[in-house]
Amino acid sequence: DVKVTQSSRYLVKRTGEKVFLECVQDMDHENMFWYRQDPGLGLRLIYFSYDVKMKEKGDIPEGYSVSREKKERFSLILESASTNQTSMYLCASSLSSGTYFGAGTRLSVL
């Protein structure tokens, strides 16, 4: 069975903190993605990766970075969290069989 695991369901952080959101997939997928979802704005792509150590900017990369040191793990990093990064973050991985989402991380930045 397909599995995309996000390390935290809920996170509360303070402004200025460095935040790591972790995502692991067990399907040997090459492609991984980070989206954020906000009411009225839908789902927007932050970053994606088609291979280890490879990354590409999505539509809203500002304020974020990513790391893909191993094929199964794709990390989203908020270098200095701000209140406008309060959101639901969704990790996904894909291959020819389809795109699968993790359970999501609801991040609140205070």
Residue 4 Cβ vs another protein, minimum distance, rounded to whole Å? 9
Q: Binding mask 17-56 vs another protein (x if CB under 8 A, - otherwise)?
A: -------------xx-x--------xx-x--x-x------
90 binds another protein (CB under 8 A): yes
Nearer to another protein, 19 or 35 (CB): 35
Residue 53 Cβ vs another protein, minimum distance, rounded to whole Å? 18
Contacts 24+ apart (CB under 8 A), 95-103: 95/27, 95/28, 95/29, 95/30, 95/31, 99/33, 100/2, 100/4, 100/25, 100/27, 101/4, 102/4, 102/5, 102/6, 102/23, 103/5, 103/6, 103/9
84 binds another protein (CB under 8 A): no
Specify the residue for token string 């303070």.
Answer: 14
Nearer to another protein, 6 or 75 (CB): 6
Cα–Cα distances in angstroms (integers) from residue 86 to residues 13, 30, 75, in the given order: 9, 28, 17
7 binds another protein (CB under 8 A): no
List residues binding another protein (CB under 8 A).
30-31, 33, 42-43, 45, 48, 50, 58, 90, 92, 94-96, 98-104, 106
